[in-house]
Structures are given as C-alpha cells and as structure tokens.
Chain A
C-alpha cells in the first residue's frame, strides 16, 4: 500500500517533547493503520507516541496538573475508541490534540472546575512524586499556569509543538491575526512571570 506523504509539519518540525518513547512523527500512517487492524504492537507504539501530546494539551487547556492527569486518561481512551474513524490521509497530531482539547473542556464543564489556575500538585502527593520537579521547574510551571487558557494553548502549540501562528490559528479555529496578537501577549506575560524572582531583570524590562 502506498503511503501518503508525511505532513510537512510532522516531517520537519521538531517536537519539543523530551523523554522516552516514539514521538508522533514516528507514528506513520502504517502504524496507525496497523493499530486500527488490532496489531497490539502498533497500538502500543501509537499509545506511547500519543500519550505525551495528550498530557501536554490537557495541561495547557486546564492549567492544572491534577485535572490534566485525569483528562489525559479520558482523552487517551477517546483516541483509541475513535481510531477506526481516523482519516489516514490526515496528520495525526492535530486530530489527537483536538480530541485532547475537547476532553479537557468537557471535563472542566462536568466538574465545574474553577477557572483559576493552580499548580498545587501537592494536593495529590503521588503526582508530585511522579513529576519530581525541582523548585525552578515548579516555579516555571506556576508562571505558565498563570496565563489564560488561550495564551497557554498558543504557547504550547507555537513555542513547544513548533506550529506557526497561522497553523495554530487554523487548528484553534481563530483568525491568524488574533493568534499572533495573543501569542505576543502570552510570551510577554509569561516572561514577566518567569522573572518574578529576578527584580533586577524585571527593572530592565520595565525600562524597555
């Protein structure tokens, strides 16, 4: 079977997700097709590639590691269930992210979760242990969680997943100009927050 050409985005862009396991780029349509046919190994490969993507989007939407942890499990199940309906000619990444995005929003609606973000991972000690974050990483995550949902999504898509603002806009269903302006504001807000413990540097920025 001739495989469709890889989506340019997934072929050429680095995916800034570290850690073990295959990335979405490694999940070609052959793997997805095999998973749909019930090939256990392909299902495992697909699951390992999709899992980090789902978790990152869940965190970007919810801004809350504890809620995102539950959302990711829900979204993973949805991806596996929806796999037979996936169009093999389409790139996997946007499809997976859309499922994760919907799962996150549904979960938040169901639980009436407050809009205010939190990184209080200590409310679930096992999660805190699993993440094992040092103080600097924890502080950076707090800064990220302090952004609005749309800002977090655009930071995640553009600065971590490697999408252009235009591509992110298309995926989110917003205007390109809106995406660019929001991303601009998001980076500004994030960097000011990231430097909250460096008043000397913040002073430099205020001069700008």
Chain B
C-alpha cells in the first residue's frame, strides 16, 4: 500500500479501524495522521456522550410579549376552559401508576422520571414549582399533562395559558395546540377562545403537510365562522357584525369550492 492509498483510506474508513492499516507500521507520517484522526474522533465521541447524558438545561427567562393574534373581543383569563383539550393535546391517559418518592435536593434533575410522573399526574409540589420556574416548552407541557391527570383544571388552565404566552413570545406558536384548543372551545361554545385559537393557528398552518393543512384549515375556517356568528348575535357592535360576515364569507367560499 502506498502513502497515497493509505491516506485516502484514512479519510473514509470506519473510525474504529483507523489504526489497523499495515502501512502505518512502516510510515511515520501516515501513522501520525491516523493517530491524530483517532484522537479527534475520541474528542467527538466524548462530546457526543457528554451531551447524550447531560441533564436538560434550565431555561432562560422568557419575557411575555404582546399577543398579536389576540382578537380585541377576547377576555383571556376567563375564556380558556379546562378539560378535554388536554386529552386532545397530549393523548390518552397514562397507565403509569405512582412511584417512589424522588430525592428533594434537585427536583428537576431527573427529567425522564419527571415525565413519567407527569403522565401519571403524580408530580410533587416541589417538582411542580421547579418546572414552573423553568418556563420553557417541555416543562410547561409536563405541567399541563400533570394538572390534567390530577383533575386540577384551574392549574391546567394556568399552564395552558402560560405555554401559549411562551410560544408566542418565542415566535413559535404551536399550531397543534391552537387547533385542539379551538375544537375544545367550540364544543363548550366559548367563542372568543375559538377566535383566538383559530386566528393564531391559521398563521402557522405552513408547518403541516398538505393533507393536514387542507383539512384543518377547512375546520378552522368553519369554526371561526360559527364563532363569529355567535359573537355577532350577542353584540350590537357593527364592527363585530362586519367581521362575522367576513368570516362567514370566507367559510362559504371554501365550502362552495368543494
């Protein structure tokens, strides 16, 4: 084997076999190259392993931002009811039962275990407080799941609202959550909530594949038309009625095109 052949092989061979080329025994330069590559692969393996076993990082605080999609008629703190949306959002109830107490020193340290606890609705007060202090997406979602599993609808509502605020502030409104909230609120005839959720979700339909986007957009427009009609009926404000008419027209256009 020539140096040229050896170096070509060293560039592309299995990293665990870098030292196996017979040519290395007779060529100092190629051996140096192989040793350097082996060492750098070791550095990479160490970095990836360190990352793989790292605990999730606490989040930086997120400043609440204006909710650009919030419709002016909405009354946020009173309109997002608890209940079925958690099931829609996060799936069926978990079969996981309560487990042993975890160490209290760092209540947020064991994320996989925390997630299992959240699915079982058995987060402790310390764990809830710790997750609440993080304020990022997954802690919020764990709190939402946990509150729902415990049947604590007041807490559930608080975490849903918080997650919505966070995702909007981060410029990453979750359309799946928005869509499911819209369905839930429509079932409960909470029309301002429907309008909020639909409006936010319609701005993010691009993340769905074509088939999903098509069917969900249709549903969202239908829900918005229903909400608009209900709100217009209860209001004397011409602007509200005009808005409702516009939404109804948008929905009818979709229906007629089918």
* A residues at B contact (CB < 8 Å): 16-21, 36-38, 40-41, 43-44, 47-48, 50-53, 55-56, 59, 65, 68-70, 72-74, 76-77, 80-81, 84, 106, 109-112, 124, 126-127, 130-133, 136-141, 143-144, 156, 159-160, 184, 187-188, 190-192, 194-195, 198, 201, 204-205, 207-208
Contacts and interface: CB of A to CB of B under 8 A. Distances in A.
B44 A140 contact: yes
Given A40-B96, A43-B96, A80-B94, A56 B112 contact: no
B238 interface: no
B47 A140 contact: yes
Given A48-B112, A55-B54, A74-B138, A187 B48 contact: no
A139 B39 CA distance: 12
Contacts of A136: 40, 43
A17 B175 CA distance: 35
Contact of B141 (A19, A77, A201): A77
B161 interface: no
Given A77-B142, A187-B12, A69 B44 contact: no
A131 to B, nearest CB: 5
Interface in B75-115: 90-91, 94-100, 111-113, 115
Given A18-B46, A18-B53, 6 more contacts: A81-B119, A110-B174, A110-B204, A112-B172, A140-B44, A159-B14
Contacts of A198: 36
18 contacts: A20-B53, A50-B112, A52-B49, A69-B56, A70-B137, A76-B111, A76-B112, A80-B94, A81-B94, A111-B171, A112-B171, A130-B55, A140-B46, A144-B48, A160-B48, A188-B11, A194-B43, A201-B32
B136 interface: yes
Given A19-B49, A47-B112, A80-B94, A137 B7 contact: no
Interface residues on B, range: 35 or more
A124 B138 CA distance: 16
Nearest to A200: B32
Contact of B112 (A51, A69, A84): A51
Given A111-B172, A140-B43, A194-B44, A201 B96 contact: no
